[in-house]
Structure formats: C-alpha cells, structure tokens
Structure 1
Amino acid sequence: MDLATCTYQEFTLSMGAPIRSTAGNPRWPLGYQLAGHAQLITPTRDLLAANLPEDAYEFSYRRLLNGHGIDRIHAELAGLAARNSGARLVLLCFDKLDKPGNWCHRTQFARWWLEQTCEEISELGARPATPPPSLF
C-alpha cells in the first residue's frame, strides 16, 4: 500500500487519492473531491481540544492508534486504497510543516506506521527548513 501525507492546501491530484485524516472538513472550498476519510487515524475532538504540547499529544495520539490496532487501521486504509483503484493514499490535514514550531498528527502517524510496518510514509508538503551545515 502506498501512503503519503500532505496538507489540504498543498495537495494536487497528481499526488494520489486525497484522504481526510482530520476531525473536521476544510472550511473552504477544495479544488478537488475527497476520496475518503481515514477515521481510525483521525484524532478525537477531545484530544484536539486538550491543547497539549507536542510530546504529550503524540503520547495520547499513539494510545488512540494502539487502541485501534495496526490490523484494523491497515484494513481501513487497504479498503480506501481498493475503492480508489490502488492509488497512493494521501493523508491530508491542515498544518503546514514549514512554519517554525509547527507539528502535526500526520507526521506522528507516519512514525507510528513505520514502527508497526517498517513502511515509510512520504511527506509531499513543505518541510521545515533545514539549517545550513556548520562550517566549524
């Protein structure tokens, strides 16, 4: 199964099948139709409302993922892939990662997925700027 992540704003149809992974839909019109909703990897509204720092959020989010289990999550994503003719699933959310200090559940999910399956999930949106290498 081919998975990637991106923001709603940066997504283009050439990337694959756009899959919602957020508790809510975008509040602006999209230039494309969503191809599904990955409900088992969507953070709960309670988790979002808790306004936790990144490490505490990831701990709670991983508890949610572990509670659903890799088999159920894999089955849900495989079903979405099948409904989209095996296209790459692009898991979408709102947070742009190129802003300093920004983080997102999609990168936390990608780390968890890698640990569970040994399969990497690529990020198709902008990434944090890498500082230049030190000359000393």
Structure 2
Amino acid sequence: MLTLFTNRFQAFQPPQGVPVRITLGAPRFKLPYSLTHSVRELAPRRDYLSQPEPEFSTAYRADLDQLGSERIAARLRQITQAEGDHRLVLLCFEDLADPAQWCHRRIFAAWWKDTTGDTVRELGPMAGQYEQGTLM
C-alpha cells in the first residue's frame, strides 16, 4: 500500500507520515524532525526551475511521464518498506498560503491523480484550499 501526501518542510509534523524530500537542495535550516529520505527523481530540473508556471508545469509533467508512475511507485515503495509506514509526505519549500504561489509538489499531485487515479492530499495549513474533504 502507498498513501501519498504533500506538505512544506516547515509545516511537516512526524504524525503525518514519513517525510520525503523532493527538492534538488536540502533545507538549509534546522528541522525539528529527521529527514532521511530523498527522491531526487521527483525534483524539477534546473533547466526549467525558474520558468513561469505554464512552461515549468509542461516540462515537469514531461519528466514525470518519462519516468512513469510504475517506476515512481516502486521507488516510493522502497521507502515505505524501509520505514514500515505506507504514508509518505512529499516535501518542498513553497508556502502555499500565498494564493499567487504554486509549486511542483502540487503539480506532481495532479499528475499522480491523472496517471494513477489516486489523490495526493496537501497537509499544510492551506489544505482546504487545494482539496475537498477531510484529512486523516
């Protein structure tokens, strides 16, 4: 079983699941939890990192399409098996409390839903803005 969520590094809390970094760089600030897992394959590439959202989204989704959901799921399952917890929280830096802000974690969530049919819920304080329904 694989249950995916998204959040930002600063808002993650250990009861939410296993934290997984999906950014090129690691946080340069102290975290109040241990961050031992990273899936660099889900980090956007530098060549489109600073592009506007439409171009970024197109390039990032193309990278995800090339990887494929089966390969991504297999990589994520390695973490669930190592941790004994099916709940993975994919983390990046962006604060989605700003309505003008967007980030690759939510682009991934939309791609995952389109590809697998599984919802990836945002756990941050603005979760209701991105998802309908209740959180775990």
TM-score (norm: length of structure 1): 0.88
**Which residue in 2 is equivalent to 1:109?**
108
**Which residue in 2 is equivalent to 1:32?**
33
Contact 1:98 1:128 in 2 (8 A): no
Shift of 1:66: 0.9
**Which residue in 2 is equivalent to 1:41?**
42
Structure 1: distance between partners of 2:28 and 2:43: 17
Shift of 1:100: 2.5
Contact 2:21 2:91 in 1 (8 A): yes
Shift of 1:126: 2.6
Q: Which runs of 5+ in 1 are unaligned?
A: 131-136
Structure 2: distance between partners of 1:110 and 1:40: 15
Secondary structure, counterpart of 1:91 in structure 2: strand
Contact 1:100 1:128 in 2 (8 A): no
**Which residue in 2 is equivalent to 1:23?**
24
**Which amino acid in structure 2 is aligned with residue 12 of structure 1?**
Q
Q: Is 1:60 aligned to 2:59, yes or no?
A: yes
**Which amino acid in structure 1 is aligned with residue 30 of structure 2?**
P
**Which residue in 1 is equivalent to 2:126?**
127
Contact 1:17 1:90 in 2 (8 A): yes
Q: 37-46 or 96-105, which moves further after superposition?
A: 37-46
TM-score (norm: length of structure 2): 0.88
Structure 2: distance between partners of 1:25 and 1:15: 20
Larger Rg: 1
Contact 1:98 1:127 in 2 (8 A): yes
Please tell me the root mean square deviation across aligned C-alpha atoms, in Å: 1.5
Contact 1:17 1:35 in 2 (8 A): no
**Which residue in 1 is equivalent to 2:4?**
3
Runs of 4+ in 1 over 6 A off after TM superposition: none
